[in-house]
A and B are shown apart, each in its own frame.
Chain A
Amino acid sequence: MSTPTSTRPAPAATGELSTGAAIRLVAGREISTRVRTKAFLWTTALFVAAVVLGGLLLDLVGGNDDATKVGFTPEASAAATAFEATATGMGVTVETTDVADAAAGEQALRDGDVALVVTSVDPTFDVQVETAVGETMQPVLTAFAQQLALASAVTDLGGDPADVSEQIASAAPQVVALEPEPERDGGQIVGGFIAGILLFISLMTAGQLVAQGVVEEKSSRVVELLLASVRPAQLMAGKVLGIGVVGLLQVVLVVGAGAGTATALGLLDSSSLDLGSTAVWALIWFVVGFAMYALVLGALGALVSRQEDVGSVIGPVMTLMIVPYVLGISVLPWDPTNELATWLSFVPFCSPMLMPIRIALGAAETWEVLLALGLSLALIPVLVWLAGRIYSGAVLHSGGRMKVREALRRG
């Protein structure tokens, strides 16, 4: 220690600090200290990696949906459109390309650019492959051969083959199912799962961070120093805001990574999942759900003074969170119109986890989503008031666990 030379450095503080500035300062500290923690970096990286890898895995498993490339020599190219139509009719996607001649076709086969080359359709249907015809293409080739034979027979009989094939194509049985099985869309189910899991985990972790953050300030006693310069409500608002921004950042990264992977790999080309609205609603529900849970958990956290007591005081809320989550991901994907889940998706504290799943599954009408959102938003001012009172009444109390009623009385 050196001997103090001057007592006051240049400009003194003014003591002026608006509520907005106080909240921004507190939130800024939360953000800057939390995004640098190993816990944040690792969970974010793991989350993003899980979503991207999951997408890649899904792509590999469903990889046989990829278009089979079929080359046509100039002699056969007239039949390319008809071939593609036949394949599509049988549920097989093909992509037709022109090759200059048989030799070029051979080269393309050896290079793996195409899976098979059609060199002739009349008088014979000639196809070249590198080793063997793939499992999916075999019936397509057979059907097309039969079609060619039929067309040739129709021509011989003086009919118009195009006319006949059109009639054949439009012929379909009228099936009446007594108990129709609901149509399931893989993309929607996966989207629903991810939305449910993501919302649950991120709300739970962010909510716990708020409770732990409140107790951290109590157990380290720094709260007394802070409350000598900011009001309890400002401190709590800043903390909730800061942790919320960090949590939202994490959710945005994960949702972005998921949506980006799905789009890049074309995973959702055959799905009716509305990726854009599912992603945006997931973010909105995170914000709303976080606000509610953070207020409740922050207020509860203020009741205790030691980190080891946090678990017991927020435990009941955590347990209640599990109910809509489990219901959401175990029932809704298989039964999107489940009555209990549908009703609960309007109940505040449950909607942030159930609504995103219903939205991903395409099972929620817009008015339903807006109604659920309105109900949750209406409750937030009440929670702000209640949490503010409990927090103010309890945050400077040290020692054992404080009762909610006692905190409300003091607040």
Chain B
Amino acid sequence: MSELTIDSLSKAYGQVQALRDMSFEVRAGEIFGFVGSNGAGKSTTMRIVLGVLAADAGEVRWNGTPLDLHVRRRIGYMPEERGLYPRMRVGEQLVYLARLHGMSKSAAVEAMEHWTRVLGIEARRGDEVLKLSLGNQQRVQLAAALVHSPDILVLDEPFSGLDPVAVDVMSQVLRDQAAAGVPVMFSSHQLELVERLCDRVGIVRSGSMVAIGGIDELRSTPERRWVVEGPTPDGWLARVPAARLVSSEPVAGTGTVYRSVVEVTDAGLAEVDQELLGAAVAAGPVREFARVRPSLVELYRHVVASDDSSATTDRTPAEVTA
């Protein structure tokens, strides 16, 4: 199974330690979301993968072999700082970039035609890039990352600056690429999007991976919490000793319906969940009974904001194996 391994990368810019022991892997056919605040080290990691920046320590491997220029030519890359020749025509530019990745002339032309069509910019092939709107320039940039049919995709903030339709097309392209067996790694600040799209997510802070795993694994917390929308908990919660009330408030406009969050205090007892539901139903009609899971946004806030003073301390990433 093909796998891109980022192994213990370290990088300092002068006094600033940009990366410290950054490690993770992206597997074939997987969409990996890379999140973290500005300056956390996402772009630095990606630039080291592409070889445009040298790491102080650590290495990047593809199927166990350190990356060389030959493999790097098989990566599709979208740099954080968008870059295309402003005065070169879209079509010529894509053909040129494809050929720099080792494609023959005819294959490059064919690939350019394919991707401009898929991304809806086929009418702009003859225009200079600078004449395109920013959104369309972004599509050309994505076409530039895809035009050589890469084996690996590394995209730095591919969704920034896109309109909702373009976001859908971009998402679909990433899904298609992953389905074709390409490991896709992208960074984004749009966490709902990451949550929806990614198979696995890595949260970085101060140059290290602090949480990594599948969305569901990350969201599952040791304590079990339920939201119950129905009769006031005063009437029924006392019958379930293994649960305690976290919060409860009346649902506006109803008078008798309360939205309550209860936590199972003894997580080992699976039957407590059923007891909770039974007790609530016995007390009155229940409109909603659902497991409370933190969203990626909450998780992110928790992980990133919990300990800003830890910038200088070495932390072990909370690794969750998928």
* A13 sits at the interface (CB 8 A): yes
Contact residues in A for B285 (Cβ distance below 8 Å): none
Q: In the complex, which residues of chain A have a beta carbon less than 8 angstroms from the beta carbon of B115? A: 9
Instruction: Let me know if A8 and B180 touch, CB within 8 A.
Output: yes
- Which of B73-81, B204-212, B235-243 has 4 or more CB atoms under 8 Å from chain A? B73-81
A17 contact from B51, B73, B107, Cβ within 8 A? B73
Contacting pair B52 A229 (CB below 8 A): no
Known contacts A13-B98, A15-B74, A226-B100, A221 near B79 by CB under 8 Å? yes
The answer to the question of B110 belonging to the interface, with a C-beta cut-off of 8 Å to chain A, is yes
Please, how many angstroms separate the alpha-carbon atoms of A9 and B143 in the complex? 12
> Smallest Cβ distance from A189 to chain B, in angstroms?
42
Q: Tell me the complex Cα distance, A220–B117, Å.
A: 25
Question: In the complex, which residues 280-314 of chain A have their Cβ closer than 8 Å to any Cβ of chain B?
Answer: none
B24 contacts A by Cβ under 8 Å: no
CB distance from B285 to the nearest CB of A (A): 43
A-side contacts of B260, CB under 8 Å: none
User: What CA separation (Å) do A402 and B100 show in the bound complex?
Assistant: 28
Assess the A1–B166 pair: CB atoms within 8 A. yes
Question: Which A residues, 1 to 43, have Cβ-Cβ distances below 8 Å to chain B?
Answer: 1-17, 22, 25-26, 29, 33
**With A and B bound together, what is the CA distance between A15 and B117 in angstroms?**
24
Interface size on B, residues (CB 8 A): 55
Chain A, residues 311-351, CB within 8 Å of chain B (1/0): the string is 00000000000000000000000000000000000000000
**CB atoms of A7 and B177 under 8 A apart:** yes
The minimal Cβ–Cβ distance linking A101 to chain B, given in whole angstroms, is 73
Closest to B84 in A: A222
Does B294 lie at the interface of the complex (its beta carbon under 8 Å from any beta carbon of A)? Answer: no
Q: Does A122 contact B (CB under 8 A)?
A: no
Q: Are A13 and B96 in contact (CB under 8 A)?
A: no
Q: Which residues of A contact B81 (CB under 8 A)?
A: 221, 224, 398
* CB atoms of A2 and B101 under 8 A apart: no
Task: Give the chain A neighbours of B97 by CB distance below 8 A.
Answer: 225, 229
State whether the Cβ of A223 lies closer than 8 Å to any Cβ in chain B. Answer: yes
Known: A15-B73, A17-B101, A221-B79. A1 touches B119 (CB 8 A): yes
Across-interface contacts of B53 in A (CB, < 8 A) = 396
- Bound state CA distance, A3 and B166, in angstroms? 10
User: Are B52 and A227 within 8 A (Cβ)?
Assistant: yes
A sample of 23 inter-chain contacts (CB < 8 A) reads A4-B176, A6-B114, A7-B179, A10-B107, A11-B104, A12-B151, A13-B74, A13-B149, A15-B73, A15-B74, A33-B87, A216-B85, A220-B85, A224-B47, A224-B81, A225-B97, A227-B51, A228-B50, A228-B51, A228-B75, A229-B69, A229-B100, A396-B53
* 8 closest A-B pairs by CB: A221-B83, A1-B120, A9-B114, A222-B83, A12-B149, A7-B176, A15-B73, A13-B103
Q: Besides A9-B110, A12-B151, A14-B103, 8 other CB < 8 A contacts?
A: A2-B118, A2-B120, A5-B118, A14-B102, A25-B99, A33-B88, A220-B85, A228-B52
